[in-house]
Structure 1
């Protein structure tokens, strides 16, 4: 009986070792396909010659795949198709996401929070009245990002109390606001800060034309959404993420881009 129990233990250990080795090899032989969108403007994604060249997304994910010893491929995906591609396994991850933004968030694996982002409202400086709450945005035409969900404004948009006007990215919304085609626009504090610092205008500096209103439209954690067939599991991703947070890598990357 003892011999049989010893044999069972040995076989169990061998099975676990083979399973671990198989999983390790599977991850090594696969490529981690990470999606970013046209809406992920600098400093999230800096693109040159149609390839992701630098930015917060590339720097963070390069560090994560280096820790996991797996290859990575970055793919630009239209925002409206990103979830379809994630569900089908065409991509393995949406780099910048949140469970509230996807229609079937319970279908996917989710990373722990990577950092915090705020959605803010930008208007023209000549707009004198400061906006501190959503009710004060009534009848305004607000620039938004195509395919993006705004949970705190869903009802106001649906009731037409606030008029939604989509654009591809933040640069388009800055241009439309300058021409007064919209009354203001909503975007990430990270993108707004970067564009106000780097935007080039004739005659005037951006800070003489645009202002950030006091209202915070929403404040949320940024996560990565992982497909069910991703070669990197949520636990593997989170283990690497925690290491990079602990050793200061994530902080250094965010600081590098002024976050």
Structure 2
């Protein structure tokens, strides 16, 4: 949401009557019943930049986006005026990161090594250091 129009979110009912910027084709299990009957108005866009632009122009009251992605986009696009945005303390939902590989190649050995290295990166702090670059 915008700092000048704060929204305190703790439950879906806090968003009743609000217009929320969302990703086209994305599902939001917690809010989908509210979107279905328009108790919360869904406003889809194809990109994070477009969703943030709608919010900045006050065409929406809030947006549901991945925080790390938003922080990265705001760093890349100074015209979005990073200082005007604020994040809810409570997330609307959580989704894990996933990697997809083509089935035309046997990726199992690579995936096994990748997962082992990812565990090491979490343990020694390298992953956190990388993630901080996007904040």
Whether TM-score is above 0.5 comes out as yes
Count of residues in Structure 1 that have an aligned counterpart in Structure 2? 132
Residues in 2 aligned to 1:167 and 1:157: alpha-carbon distance in whole angstroms: 15
- Checking the alignment, whether the CA contact within 8 Å between 1:133 and 1:215 is kept in structure 2 is no
Match of 1:223 in 2: 98
Residues in 1 aligned to 2:86 and 2:49: alpha-carbon distance in whole angstroms: 15
Max Rg structure: 1
Q: In structure 1, list runs of 5 or more residues that go unmatched.
A: 1-122
Matching of residue 187 in structure 1 with residue 79 in structure 2: no
What TM-score, normalized to structure 2? Answer: 0.79
Helix, strand or coil: the match of 1:219?
Answer: coil
Matching of residue 161 in structure 1 with residue 36 in structure 2: no
- Checking the alignment, whether the CA contact within 8 Å between 2:7 and 2:88 is kept in structure 1 is no
**RMSD of aligned Cα (Å):** 2.7
State the 1:175 CA deviation.
1.1
Name the one with the larger strand percent. 1
What TM-score, normalized to structure 1? Answer: 0.44
Residues in 2 aligned to 1:162 and 1:247: alpha-carbon distance in whole angstroms: 42
Residues in 1 aligned to 2:47 and 2:116: alpha-carbon distance in whole angstroms: 33
Helix, strand or coil: the match of 2:96?
Answer: strand
Matching of residue 240 in structure 1 with residue 113 in structure 2: yes
Residue from 113, 117, 130 that aligns with 2:8 = 130
State the 1:197 CA deviation.
3.3
State the 1:152 CA deviation.
1.9
Helix, strand or coil: the match of 2:43?
Answer: strand
Q: How does 1:135-214 map to 2 (within 5 A)?
A: 135-201=13-79, 205-207=81-83, 209-214=84-89
